Chain A
């Protein structure tokens, strides 16, 4: 059914960032696309299907777009879809509160000659303001069907579906051949669209003019003193207390204990009963076995930490806190060559650096994108890694503080240096700040669940492959050779040979390496100094394979190779310098 002639028309959801396209996508298709309260949540295209009149139609959710003249990369993705999928109905989703500002894009979309439907989403927020839009008058003036919706409460979507149905049947007889190229950008044309939009909007809107200042909450969040106190509180409670103490401490401790004492003996027994050959027993239940190590790391160490992190994070994302944090930190980020906008991928990186590397495409200049990608790879620990580190250092506050200071210093120094040496212009900062909204429990739970499933689909096979590779390596003796080979550079950093497998694991995934370190540290073979050096080097160490692949995809292999080489050298050099410094000043932690 994929030939252009016979295929059903597609439905493309288009609109400015943060107007609720992904929510409508979820309602139409029953598939979940990540929904948050900040511009730039969707950076990739999602596709799903809906049944209309017995036929299955593809629905496409796109990243936010301000106009058909794109500036950022995610806008380009959307424009590409609009141009490519010519056999389609366009649903322009807008924030009903911003009719005037949104109509220029409607006019631009109408130039495609395809059926366009306008969805006035968040209509409840408009009503709350004491305003209203005369929908039939607007529909007449624009000559297109309109539906008022409150997508988060599933209101008005029935009408929207009806209109899509009508558009599809109407269009089936008289389908425009292909979309024409858009005319080149001129200020004049854009301004004339705004004039037209303003005339129409004033004619159909009834509103009570009232001047609002910043709400008290907004004032607290955005003024420097209280803003930083709130940031500190969010980090302390969200990261340290919930992810670190509760997740990495209590939950991991409980699960590890249960697994080691109840499940491991039971699994080992089964494996030993059914598998006669020692090599097979080793593969499943040996020191680095799939069941005894791979699955245990994934289920008992990573799962509780990552799950809790995603939960905390979903609340932060849905509240609207992130754009305010971007505002608060803009002037500080300027010093490291980034704008406040980069705060969002950096904070996302604390969840998963792979996801964050993808979000870097919302930054406006290539220079910013390279700096942000490098800092993400080098300095930002992902949730699994950080959770394990927090758990490991929970009883050693001095080392924890030193680790945090060293990583923060490297983040600042590397950024400042990059800002100096990278060619290109200083970044500028502009971001839309949505209202603070009360997170919806259902969205938080669904989002956390979807992310965890995604995460596990990605890591479990890698953990198993790592176990198999190590097992193969041990069978053939390659493992011992590599460990021996690593022992030398490790000794320069003052680290004993047993840490070599940790770094090997870390090469597969940073969180896997951190989990290995967690295991190792509990056996008390490492001194305080050695623990500090290992966690610092592991944090800086090469990103996991998934992040590396995304870096190659987003930035190209040349930049990815340059970044990886830099990180490898930098991480080991940092370990060496740290070890020398500790010895020089005779510090024993």
Chain B
């Protein structure tokens, strides 16, 4: 089924409203991008949304799937742009809007795997998990993995921090958890103990999950 870029934007808007308001019936006025009459008709005809009340619509099962896929591509694009391509923060959203359309049909899975199946976008919103994320555990070797998923003795270089709390990200960065720093897991029970450069740090699981490591190829 062909979905236009414009429709994809509407789908994303529906998903964001659904996330924020946490109800099924969404007022059209909530959407950051309102569909015009023709678009609304197309959405209804294709059973992506159904009417819910006056000026309100509800996503169908199919609609939810399409919307979550669209949002996933957009947020993955944002992650790729910030973490790997180091695009300036102010420019991310716009660039991602263009970039996301190239992530169809499996390419999103490759990007997701490359990034180590990130949980949130750079703004802290959740990235809907894809098929690859669910299969993550079965995959033997990854380019990037969270510190908590490593075995003691494994290590590499810090790839990025995936922290929703900006204050904590600042603290971790100040302590030396900067991209490129040499890192190795020493122990993972009862908490996580790792070597960063010449220093050892102890962290809990929550923080270990937020440190992403580009694994050493050896």
Contact of A195 among B170, B171, B180, B202 (CB under 8 A): B180
Cross-interface CB contact of B201 among A187, A331, A334, A433, cutoff 8 Å: A433
B172-213: contact bitstring with A at CB < 8 Å (1 yes, 0 no)? Answer: 111110111100101101110101111111111011000000
On whether A326 and B202 interact (CB within 8 A), knowing A191-B178, A340-B191, the answer reads yes
Whether A544 sits at the interface, judged by CB under 8 Å, is: no
A430 touches B207 (CB 8 A): yes
Interface positions of B from 149 to 187, Cβ below 8 Å from A:
152-153, 167-176, 178-181, 184, 186-187
The answer for the CA separation of A328 and B168 in the assembled complex, in Å, is 22
Indicate if the CB atoms of A430 and B176 lie closer than 8 Å: no
Q: Say whether B172 contacts A430, CB under 8 Å.
A: yes
Inter-chain contact total with CB atoms closer than 8 Å: 121
Instruction: Determine the chain A residues whose CB is within 8 A of the CB of B175 once the complex forms.
Output: 66, 430, 432
Contacts of B195 in A (CB 8 A): 212
Q: How far, in Å, is B100 (CB) from chain A's closest CB?
A: 23
Please, what's the 1-or-0 string for A162-204, where 1 marks a CB less than 8 Å from any CB in chain B?
0000000000000000000000010110110011001000000
Contacts of A198 on B, CB cut-off 8 Å? 180
Please indicate the chain A residues that have their CB under 8 angstroms from the CB of B203 in the complex. Answer: 428-431
Contact assessment for A428 and B174 in the assembled complex, using a CB-CB cutoff below 8 Å: no
User: By the criterion CB–CB under 8 Å, are A97 and B190 in contact?
Assistant: no
- Give the shortest distance, in Å, between B173 (CB) and chain A (any CB): 5
Residues from chain B with Cβ under 8 Å of A364 in the complex: 171
Known pairs A214-B186, A326-B202, A331-B204; A433 contacts B173 (CB<8 A): no
CB pair B198 A187 closer than 8 Å: no
Looking at the assembled complex, report how far the CB atom of B3 sits from the nearest CB atom of chain A, in whole angstroms.
34
- Tell me the minimal C-beta distance from B217 to chain A in angstroms: 15
Task: Give bound CA distance, A330 to B193, whole Å.
Answer: 12
Q: Could you tell me if A187 and B187 are in contact, using CB atoms closer than 8 angstroms?
A: no
A69 to B200, CA, bound (A): 22
Chain A, range 400-454, C-beta contacts under 8 Å to B: 426, 428-435
**How long is the Cα–Cα vector from A429 to B171 in the complex, in angstroms?**
12
Residues of A within 8 A of B193 (CB): 214, 222, 327, 433
How distant is A174 from chain B, measured CB to nearest CB, in Å? 31
- In the complex formed, the residue of A with least CB distance to B196 is A101
Q: How far is the CA of A223 from the CA of B190 in the complex (A)?
A: 7
CB <8 Å contact, B197 and A98: yes
Interface 1/0 per residue, A61-97 and B, CB below 8 Å: 0000011010100000000000000000000000101
Q: Does A397 interact with chain B (Cβ within 8 Å)? A: no
The chain A residue sitting closest to B169, CB to CB, is: A187
Verify A331–B178 contact, CB threshold 8 A. no
Interface residue count on the B side (C-beta < 8 Å): 37
A362 an interface residue at 8 Å Cβ cutoff? no
Q: How far is the CA of A330 from the CA of B191 in the complex (A)?
A: 7
A160: shortest Cβ distance to chain B, in Å? 22
Given A71-B171, A198-B180, A224 contacting B198 (CB threshold 8 A): no
Residue from B169, B174, B186, B191 in contact with A331 in the complex, judged by beta carbons closer than 8 Å? B191
Once bound together, how far apart are the Cα atoms of A219 and B169, in whole Å?
Answer: 29
- Which residues of B sit under 8 angstroms from A66, Cβ to Cβ? 171, 174-176
* A5: Cβ under 8 A from any B Cβ: no
A211 to B218, CA, bound (A): 13
User: What are the residues of chain B within 8 A of A432 when measuring CB–CB?
Assistant: 175, 199-201
In the complex, chain A residues whose CB is within 8 Å of the CB of B169 = 187
State whether the Cβ of A115 lies closer than 8 Å to any Cβ in chain B.
no
Cβ–Cβ < 8 Å partners of A223 in chain B: 187, 189
| Contact-residue bracket for chain A | 35 or more
- Least distance between A337 CB and chain B CB atoms (Å): 14
Q: How many Å lie between the Cα of A185 and that of B167 in the bound state?
A: 10
Task: Give chain B nearest CB distance to A129 CB in angstroms.
Answer: 7
- Write out the residue numbers on chain A whose beta carbons fall within 8 Å of the beta carbon of B184: 211
Contact between B190 and A328, CB atoms less than 8 A apart: yes
Q: Give a binary string over A92-124; 1 marks a CB under 8 Å from any B CB, 0 the rest.
A: 000101101100100000000000000000000
Is B170 a contact of A185 with CB atoms below 8 Å?
yes
Q: How far is the CB of A201 from chain B (nearest CB, A)?
A: 9
Asked if A307 is at the interface (CB within 8 A of a chain B CB), the reply is no
Q: Which residues of A contact B186 (CB under 8 A)?
A: 213-214
A339 proximal to B (CB < 8 A): yes
**Residues on A with beta carbons closer than 8 Å to the beta carbon of B176:** 66, 98, 101
B202: chain A residues within 8 A (beta carbon): 323-324, 326-327, 330, 340, 429-431, 433
Residues of B within 8 A of A219 (CB): 187
Assembly CA distance A98 to B200 (angstroms) = 11
A194 to B173, CA, bound (A): 9
Distance A340 CA – B206 CA, assembled complex (angstroms) = 13
Asked whether A69 and B198 contact (CB < 8 A) given A334-B204, A428-B168, A428-B206, the answer is no
Q: How far is the CA of A340 from the CA of B192 in the complex (A)?
A: 12
Residues A331 and B190 in contact, CB atoms below 8 Å apart: yes
Residues of A within 8 A of B201 (CB): 430-433
Across-interface contacts of A328 in B (CB, < 8 A): 190
Binary flags per residue of A206-226, CB closer than 8 Å to B gives 1, else 0: 000001111000010011100
- Across the interface, B191 reaches (CB within 8 A) one of A185, A214, A327, namely A327
Give Cα A388 to B128, complex, Å.
60
* Candidates A71, A188, A435; contact of B167 at CB < 8 Å: A71
Within 8 Å CB of A334, what residues of B?
A: 204
A426 nearest CB neighbor, chain B only: B206
CA distance A137 to B190 in the complex (A): 43
Once A194-B178, A214-B187, A330-B191 are accepted as A-B contacts, the answer to whether A100 and B197 lie under 8 Å apart by CB is yes
CB distance from B23 to the nearest CB of A (A): 26
Check if B181 sits within 8 Å of A101, measured CB to CB. Answer: yes
- Which B residues lie within 8 Å of A224 (CB)? 189-190
Name the interface residues of A458-487: CB closer than 8 Å to any CB of B.
Answer: none
Whether the Cβ atoms of A71 and B199 lie closer than 8 Å is: no
Residues of A within 8 A of B180 (CB): 194-195, 198
Q: How far is the CB of B132 from chain A (nearest CB, A)?
A: 27
Q: How far apart are B85's CB and chain A's nearest CB, in angstroms?
A: 14
Q: Known contacts A222-B187, A429-B204, A433-B193: does B171 contact A98 (CB below 8 Å)?
A: no
Identify which of A97, A187, A188, A340 contacts B199 (C-beta below 8 A). Answer: A97
**Which of A187, A222, A330, A428 makes the CB contact (< 8 A) with B173?**
A187
Q: List chain A residues, Cβ under 8 A from B190.
A: 224, 327-328, 330-331
B204 with A428: CB separation less than 8 A: yes
What is the CA–CA distance of A214 and B200 in the complex, to the nearest angstrom? 10
Residue of B with least CB distance to A190: B173
Expressed in whole angstroms, the minimum distance between the Cβ of A347 and any Cβ of chain B is: 16
Closest to A427 in B: B204
CB A461 to nearest CB in B, in angstroms, measures 41
Closest 5 CB pairs of A and B: A67-B174, A194-B178, A101-B176, A327-B202, A97-B198
- What are 14 of the A-B contact pairs (CB < 8 Å)? A66-B175, A71-B174, A100-B197, A101-B176, A213-B153, A214-B193, A222-B187, A327-B193, A328-B190, A330-B204, A428-B206, A432-B175, A432-B200, A434-B199
Residues of A within 8 A of B (CB): 66-67, 69, 71, 95, 97-98, 100-101, 104, 129, 185, 187-188, 190-191, 194-195, 198, 211-214, 219, 222-224, 323-324, 326-328, 330-331, 334, 339-340, 364, 426, 428-435
A190-B178, A224-B189 given. 16 additional CB < 8 A pairs? Answer: A100-B197, A104-B178, A129-B198, A185-B170, A327-B190, A327-B193, A327-B202, A330-B190, A339-B204, A340-B204, A364-B171, A428-B168, A429-B204, A430-B201, A431-B201, A433-B202
